[in-house]
């Protein structure tokens, strides 16, 4: 793999981790949003990634592609709280199925993956700079 393709691979990985971080932020922002029905309750979302085995030019560069974002199939949490303004006729409110602890662990993982790819790009840049200096 040519050294220049390392930037493409790391760039796609950084883009994927950015999507992951944005999804986590959305989940955490909606973690305490009450709803009056299970159908309208916010559901945790997760990005789906795929490996890129070759790019548009037919080169086997590699990388990561975001296929989409899927909602969790788990049901929302149901609580009996008849005094809540969002309570349904039976007195229940529905809360998102977001687990804040899991989301924070995913955030740390995504952040570290992003940082690792930044380091890969910096190392590749340094290698290219040193290679160019050899010719001087």
The 10s digit of each residue's pLDDT in 1-38 is: 667 788 888 999 999 999 999 999 999 999 999 999 99
Encode 84-98 in three state secondary structure.
Answer: CCCCCCCCEEEECCC
Q: Residue 122: what pLDDT?
A: 93
**Which positions of the chain have pLDDT values less than 70?**
1-2, 54-61
Q: Residue 112: what pLDDT?
A: 97
pTM, entire model? 0.85
Q: Domain segments of the chain: what residues?
A: 5-33+42-71+98-134
What is the percent of the chain with per-residue pLDDT over 70, rounded to a whole number?
92
Q: Residue 56: what pLDDT?
A: 61
Q: Residue 5: what pLDDT?
A: 81
| 3-state SS assignment for residue 130 | helix
53, exposed or middle or buried, with CB in 10 Å at 0-12, 13-18, 19+? Answer: exposed
């Amino acid at each position: 793999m040519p050294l220049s393709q390392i930037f493409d691979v790391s760039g796609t990985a950084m883009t994927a981790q950015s999507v992951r971080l944005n999804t986590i932020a959305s989940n955490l922002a909606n973690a305490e949003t009450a709803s009056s029905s299970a159908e309208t309750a916010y559901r945790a979302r997760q990005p789906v990634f795929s490996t890129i085995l070759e790019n548009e030019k037919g080169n086997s560069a590699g990388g990561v592609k975001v296929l989409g974002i899927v909602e969790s199939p788990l049901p929302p949490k149901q609580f009996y709280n008849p005094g809540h303004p969002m309570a349904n006729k039976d007195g229940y409110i529905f809360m998102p199925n977001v687990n804040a602890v899991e989301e924070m662990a995913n955030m740390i993982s995504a952040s570290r993956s992003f940082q690792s790819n930044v380091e890969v790009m910096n190392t590749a840049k340094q290698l290219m700079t040193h290679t160019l200096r050899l010719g001087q």
